Structure 1
Amino acid sequence: MNEQPPQNHESLLAVFDREMREHARPDGPGVRVERTGDVVRQAGAAHDWNGVVWSSPDLDAVRADAAIAAQVAHCVERGYDEFEWKLYAHDRPADLGARLLAAGFEAEDPETLLVAPVADLPTEVVLPDGIRLRTVRDEADVELMALAHEQAFGADRTRLRHQVLARLKEDPDHFVGVLAMAGDEPVSSARMELYGGTGFAGLWGGGTVQEWRGRGVYRALVAFRARIAAERGFRYLQVDATEQSRPILQRLGFTVLGTTTPYLYRPTS
């Protein structure tokens, strides 16, 4: 883990594709990563994240359609309510997104893939007045984390609560959760996945409630997690960023490597 990280776009993207996609690790207890045909997918229970994380870079039209059909069948066979194909802008064939749509997948909003060498990032935590940070340690903290996430993103908190509780109970060494608190109220939450066997840690969440946005809470959460990643010897931080957080991350030293779009398949009942 002590080798010098590559600095150019192509090299960083190649490292990311190899370590985080083609040789992906399970993102939680009870799930597994499978290479089947031309794709690598994660498979778990219905409440886990299930989907394709990598497809062969030489995938052609015929093999792409066959791979898509196989993943749809896998989704139906496992009884999933939802299955995701995580498509990156450089994936092939060039019309893979259109082929997923034709097979019944639905495209969500694209996000920007950003990566930064940990050594290049600020790790000093600067907080606005009235805010303190604390790590997520127990079930009560998980409830606060899920509440902050729901209020910041307007998303249901059920799946996040389940996943974080499972990580704390069964794999706490590869997970960091953090809360930003204003008094007794959670105003932001974030998490970091530490991908053992790779040089990468992933930043997730980081949503802040409306009244606390623009005051540096998000930057403080990034610095807090970057410091922990550095202490544990990880070389890179990776983020799938919304347009709200992308400019902040670029100012902090992250490099844009492309975009990623979730394509979701939801079987009809």
Structure 2
Amino acid sequence: MTPELDPVALLRAYDEQLRSETPDPLPEGTTVDHDGPVIRISGLDRGGFVTYRDVSHLPGPELDALIARQRDFYAARGQEVEWKLRGHDLPADLPDRLVAAGFVPEELEAVVIGLAEPLAKPPVLPDGVTLREVTERADLERIAAMEEAVWHADRSHLVYGLAREIAADPEGITIVVAEAGDLVVSAGWVRYEKGTEFAGLWGGSTLEQWRGKGIYKALVAHRAIRAVARGKRYLQVDASPDSRPILERLGMVVVTTTTPYIWSPPAA
């Protein structure tokens, strides 16, 4: 492993550069406000999102009150909220405190980071599959339909969330679809994080019958090319158990984990 891929140094860069990231410029209808050490982002796609650099300095009762305020803020709006927990966050009992406040953990993912330039190679695709960069709403709807087929869950929030990102800052995001004829078989997007060395890779879901053909790797390569062109040094991914081994084989390294803790309003 090269010094540039030292997990400790990469985690430090991740904490310092990405933990307090907010959309810039803000998409229409999106707001950002602060509550002590946390940043609260509302209206980005669905509900709210809470992030922070560090809450370990707060005494237990103050931390519990901070967590409760985020829940209550979105309860008053009738919206769900995600508290984005990283595996190295302190205090160690933070997950228990979130659960006690009514937050429910979803699937754990690995935070994976790698150098962009070595991954910026011409994509290799199976016969009949092409990559295309998209911005039109009709294509975003096709992406959402593909994601719904993969996850068997509503993904309509992707349509208006991505559309508003494009409208706010067309140069801040690149969305790519992999198509076989008229069928979207996979899709991913890259966000160029302003004021940082990082580009974030998101999406990457692939229809089951099209997996194992190198399409995900091709999407990584295409987005890495775009990231290098924007002067980004690193790629960062919140990787599912399916994508993590692919990314590690490409030379990326795991620096921590992340788990969404979700609070949802009670059913009516």
TM over 0.5: yes
Q: 1:80 to 1:234 in 2, by over 3 A?
A: farther
Name the residue aligned to 1:98: 96
CA distance in 2, matches of 1:26, 1:169: 12
In 1, Cα distance between equivalents of 2:47 and 2:16: 20
C-alpha contact 1:114 1:255 (8 A) present in aligned 2: yes
Q: Which of 131, 154, 157 lines up with 1:156 in the alignment?
A: 154
Counterpart in the other structure of 2:5: 7
Q: Alpha-carbon deviations, 1:172-225, whole Å to 9, x = none? A: 110111111001111111111111122211111101101100000000000000
Question: Do 1:25 and 1:33's aligned partners in 2 also have CA atoms closer than 8 Å?
Answer: yes
Q: Specify the code of the residue in structure 2 equivalent to 1:137.
A: T
Amino acid at match of 1:220: A
1:37 counterpart residue number: 36
Q: Which amino acid aligns with 1:261?
A: T
TM-score by length of 2: 0.92
Is contact 1:122–1:252 with CA below 8 Å preserved after alignment? no
Matched residue, 1:74: 73
Name segments (4+ residues, structure 1) moved above 3 Å. none
Match in the other structure for 2:240: 242
Q: Identity over aligned residues, as a percent?
A: 43
CA shift, 1:19, in A, is 1.2
Q: Cα deviations across residues 56-113 of structure 1 (Å, max 9, x unaligned)? A: 2434422321211111122123x14210100001111101001110111111011111
Q: Check if 1:107 corresponds to 2:105.
A: yes
* 1:33 to 1:20, Cα distance in 2 relative to 1, 3 A: farther
Query: Who is 2:139 aligned against?
Result: 141
Is the 2:135–2:163 contact (alpha carbons within 8 Å) kept by the matching residues of 1? no
- The residue type paired with residue 157 of structure 1 is R
* CA displacement at 1:115 relative to structure 2: 0.9
Q: What is the CA distance between 1:148 and its match in structure 2?
A: 1.8
Separation in structure 1 between the aligned mates of residue 78 and residue 14 of structure 2, nearest angstrom: 28
Answer whether contact 2:131 2:177 (CA < 8 A) is retained. yes
1:25 is aligned, of 13, 19, 22, to 22
Instruction: State how many pairs are aligned.
Output: 262
Q: How far, CA to CA, are the matches of 2:84 and 2:78 in structure 1?
A: 16
Q: How does 1:110-259 map to 2 (within 5 A)?
A: 110-259=108-257
Task: State the TM-score, normalized to the length of structure 1.
Answer: 0.91
Paired residues of 2:116 and 2:234 also in contact (CA < 8 A): yes
Asked if the contact 1:64–1:93 (Cα under 8 Å) also holds between the matched residues in 2, the reply is no
Gaps of 5+ in 1: none
